[in-house]
């Protein structure tokens, strides 16, 4: 779209080191002073299968993957299946090149490994290249790597060629390789990087690059971080020292980061038999006085419904993270979607009593992970951090200072033994853990082992001591008190300002979104504003309790609102309407559910076609428009 950015796509096969190569390259660009943002696309397969990562770099802010890309480095797929044509894989060998052409921008660059890829297998390749003004560089990267020792080094050779063709200095890449690579492979890799760089420089005229790396500068130290990193660090800074889980993509990332770091903090990580146990362990650890979390993705979270309800009824603080992927059932394990929204809001029997937060960016993931723990422990309520494969896996640079904050290990309204002795007890010494009339509905708790704190936690309805009770008066008092907590949390959240706004306040139109699509929507709003369209956006994070007042004010202030979300059924729009109770005629939807996140251009085009031109068919993207009620 713009000339001042590089969107570099490295493609190849799963298991060929595409992710680590792209991560190092992104970090090199960050260290050179640029803002970076990555996007991963990979199959649910360990070895082989088309995969790519995009690295977007610009001197200006980047909050999304961008539109298409302008530099392709197509490597081979070492594990490609290449069977007869009718097989489901198709010809995998050529895919790193053939699958990536549709999204390459006009004037873009193609570097492909001619040692493994034969462009003549792609119909009309040359004509397409000419038509689109693509600059094509076939290089025998595999041959070079083979000559220099190890075939896997073709990734490094490709990075060297990229640097030569974009006018990027090698020093940052070299520094990173020194940081990341074990000594025994470092020297040959440095050598091949330089050789590839020099060979390309010699062979081609690179003084005026077709696509060049922009230059920029950072005022402060930057970190390259994913949403999963941010969630884990937020938990650690809030004093979480216990995690229990069961592996499932994409939640495994948070579980892994916590499991690697908790032993260094004298904490405990438990990998257990299933997700029912995982959530139940977190509840048990929290009951015994530790700040605890668990989590999963859709299918595993379904198993957590029971312990989630138990935490609600026993008012045990706990944080559960839910990393959404495309469903239903096993769905598409490595593809993002936001369609577990209703699942986490409503799963488990009875009237739900929980908090659900959906951060929109890496920075928000850190802040809201901390917020989730604070709310869970202050209000004794399970809190769910809802994110997705996109936010969890994308890397972005964030200033290090963003994380320079005090830790908060406090347990909330938990009593010391001295304080316990002042609290109401029954004649037999039982502590009134669940008192009816208390501030904000939060009755202070005790921890097993404390003298004078004895009580029963139970999933049954219970009286103030925790004893099982079916008295109608007690039932109403307890339900009402627990509901009061949510009202208090809503007031608390109003001071936290978790929403994200973009565009002019007095705009004519609005776009509403939630969670991970926020950055993409904000970029689209910027472009629409530049094109003279009067539109603003609101990225909502608080799913429960819902910021009804704020969303209503936003909807009220514009003529029409487009709700952008990665679901097929418009779940977020449904949530908005449920809470607002009206404005159905003002809310339409732009949906995407093909397994890939929105690109800014899809939001721009979808908005212009449906809202401005009133012709939703005018957009040729893989998005779906659903009109407002009555239209």
Partner 1 sequence: MSTFSAIGEEREIDRDEYTPGVEPQPTWCPGCGDFSVLKALKQALPEVGRTPEETLLCTGIGCSGKLNSYLDTYGFHTIHGRSLPVARAAKLANPDLEVIAAGGDGDGYGIGGNHFIHTARENHDMTYIVFNNEIFGLTKGQTSPTSPKGHKSKTQPSGSAKEPIKPLSMSLNAGASYVARTAAVNPNQAKEIITEAIEHDGFAHVDFLTQCPTWNKDARQYVPYIDVNDSDDYEFDKTDRVEAAEMMRETEESLYEGEVLTGRFYVDEERPSYGQEKQTIGEMPEEPLAERYWDDDYEWERSHDMFLDKHA
Would you count residue 332 as binding partner 1 (CB under 8 A)? no
Among 122, 290, 479, 488, binds partner 1 (CB under 8 A): 290
Which residue in 453, 391, 403, 400 sits closest to 425, CA to CA?
453
Rounded Cα distance between 287 and 292, Å, is 9
Task: Give the range of 45-53, 198-206, 239-247, 544-552 binding partner 1 by CB under 8 A.
Answer: 239-247
Q: Which is nearer to partner 1, 73 or 415 (CB)?
A: 415
Task: Give the range of 205-213, 397-405, 540-548, 570-578 binding partner 1 by CB under 8 A.
Answer: 397-405
Q: Which is nearer to partner 1, 242 or 572 (CB)?
A: 242
Among 26, 213, 224, 293, binds partner 1 (CB under 8 A): 224
Q: Which is nearer to partner 1, 185 or 456 (CB)?
A: 456
Would you count residue 409 as binding partner 1 (CB under 8 A)? yes
Would you count residue 225 as binding partner 1 (CB under 8 A)? yes
Which residue is it, tokens 């595409």?
Answer: 18
Q: Which is nearer to partner 1, 241 or 482 (CB)?
A: 241
Would you count residue 382 as binding partner 1 (CB under 8 A)? no
Which residue in 528, 536, 598 sits closest to 566, CA to CA?
598
Task: Give the range of 73-81, 228-236, 543-551, 591-599 binding partner 1 by CB under 8 A.
Answer: 228-236
Q: SS3 sequence, 346-374?
A: HCCCCCCCCEEECCCCHHHHHHHHHHHHH
Would you count residue 456 as binding partner 1 (CB under 8 A)? yes
CA dihedral defined by 232, 234, 235, 237, rounded to 10 degrees? Answer: 120
Whole-Å CA distances, 372 to 245, 247, 498: 18, 22, 12
Using CB under 8 A as the binding rule, the residues of this chain from 460 to 479 that contact partner 1 are: 460, 465-468
Which residue is it, tokens 């895919």?
Answer: 95
Total chain residues near partner 1 (CB under 8 A): 81
Rounded Cα distance between 478 and 238, Å, is 29
Q: Considering the complex, what minimum distance in angstroms separates the CB of residue 207 from partner 1?
A: 33
Residues in the chain: 631
Would you count residue 303 as binding partner 1 (CB under 8 A)? no
Q: Considering the complex, what minimum distance in angstroms separates the CB of residue 259 from partner 1?
A: 9
Q: Which is nearer to partner 1, 178 or 400 (CB)?
A: 400
Q: Which is nearer to partner 1, 351 or 620 (CB)?
A: 351
Q: Considering the complex, what minimum distance in angstroms separates the CB of residue 556 from partner 1?
A: 40
Would you count residue 56 as binding partner 1 (CB under 8 A)? no
Task: Give the range of 71-79, 233-241, 532-540, 607-615 binding partner 1 by CB under 8 A.
Answer: 233-241
Q: Tell how strand 395-399 and strand 222-226 pair up.
A: antiparallel
Residue 381 CA neighbour count, 13 Å, CB half: 29
Q: How many CB atoms lie within 10 A of CB 441?
A: 22
Using CB under 8 A as the binding rule, the residues of this chain from 247 to 286 that contact partner 1 are: 261-270, 272-274, 276-278, 280-285
Q: How many CB atoms lie within 10 A of CB 487?
A: 12
Q: CA angle at residue 7 from 5 to 11, to 5 degrees? A: 165
Rounded Cα distance between 144 and 188, Å, is 12
Would you count residue 295 as binding partner 1 (CB under 8 A)? no
Q: How many CB atoms lie within 10 A of CB 484?
A: 16
């Amino acid at each position: 779209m713009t000339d001042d950015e590089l969107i570099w796509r490295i493609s190849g096969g799963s298991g060929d080191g595409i992710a680590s190569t792209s991560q190092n390259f992104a970090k090199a660009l960050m260290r050179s002073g640029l803002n970076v943002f990555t996007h991963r696309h990979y199959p649910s397969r360990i070895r082989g299968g088309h995969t790519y990562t995009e690295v977007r770099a610009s001197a200006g802010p980047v909050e999304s993957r961008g539109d298409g890309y302008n530099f392709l480095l197509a490597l081979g797929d070492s594990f490609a299946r290449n069977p007869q044509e009718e097989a489901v894989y198709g010809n995998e060998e050529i895919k790193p090149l053939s699958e990536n052409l549709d999204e390459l921008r006009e004037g873009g660059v193609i570097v492909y490994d001619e040692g493994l890829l034969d462009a003549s297998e792609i119909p009309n390749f040359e004509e397409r290249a000419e038509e689109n003004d693509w600059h094509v560089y076939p290089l025998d990267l595999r041959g070079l790597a083979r000559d220099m020792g190890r075939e896997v080094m073709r990734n490094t050779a490709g990075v060297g060629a990229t640097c030569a063709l974009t006018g990027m200095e090698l020093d940052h890449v070299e520094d990173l390789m020194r940081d990341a690579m074990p000594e025994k492979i470092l020297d040959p890799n440095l050598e091949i990087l330089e050789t590839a760089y020099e060979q390309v420089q010699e062979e081609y005229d690179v003084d005026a690059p077709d696509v060049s790396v922009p230059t920029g500068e950072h005022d402060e130290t930057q970190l390259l971080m994913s949403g999963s990193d941010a969630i884990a660090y937020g938990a650690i800074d809030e004093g979480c020292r216990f995690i229990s889980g069961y592996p499932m993509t994409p939640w495994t990332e948070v579980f892994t980061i916590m499991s690697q770091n908790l032993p260094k903090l004298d904490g405990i990580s438990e990998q257990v038999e299933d997700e029912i146990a995982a959530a139940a362990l977190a509840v048990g650890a929290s009951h015994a006085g530790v700040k605890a979390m668990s989590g999963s993705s859709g299918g595993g979270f379904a198993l957590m419904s029971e312990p989630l309800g138990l935490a609600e009824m026993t008012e045990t603080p706990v944080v559960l993270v839910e990393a959404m992927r495309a469903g239903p059932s096993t769905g598409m394990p490595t593809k993002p979607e936001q369609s577990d929204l209703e699942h986490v809001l409503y799963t488990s029997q009875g009237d739900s009593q929980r908090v659900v937060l959906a951060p929109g960016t890496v920075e928000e993931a850190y802040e809201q992970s901390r917020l989730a723990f604070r709310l869970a422990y202050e209000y004794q309520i399970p809190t769910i951090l809802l994110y997705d494969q996109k936010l969890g896996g994308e890397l972005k640079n964030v200033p290090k200072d963003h994380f320079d904050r005090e830790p908060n290990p406090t347990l909330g309204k938990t009593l010391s033994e001295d304080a316990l002795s002042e609290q109401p007890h029954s004649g037999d010494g039982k502590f009134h853990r669940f008192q009816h009339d208390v501030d904000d509905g939060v009755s202070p708790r005790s921890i097993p082992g404390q003298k004078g704190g004895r009580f029963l936690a139970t999933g049954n309805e219970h009286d103030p001591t925790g004893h099982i009770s079916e008295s109608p008066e007690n039932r109403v008092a307890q339900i009402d008190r627990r509901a009061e907590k949510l009202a208090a949390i809503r007031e608390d959240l109003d001071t936290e300002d978790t929403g994200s706004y973009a565009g002019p306040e007095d705009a004519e139109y609005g776009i509403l979104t939630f969670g991970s699509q926020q950055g993409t929507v904000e970029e689209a709003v910027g472009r629409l504003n530049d094109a003279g369209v009067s539109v603003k956006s609101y990225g909502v994070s608080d799913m429960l309790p819902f910021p009804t007042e704020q969303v209503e004010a936003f909807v009220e202030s514009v003529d029409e609102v487009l709700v952008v979300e990665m679901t097929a059924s418009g779940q977020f729009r449904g949530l908005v309407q449920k809470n607002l109770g009206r404005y159905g005629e003002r809310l339409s939807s732009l949906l995407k559910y093909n397994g890939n996140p929105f690109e800014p251009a899809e939001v721009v085009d979808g908005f212009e076609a449906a809202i401005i031109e009133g012709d939703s068919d005018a957009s040729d993207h893989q998005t779906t428009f659903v009109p407002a009620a009555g239209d």
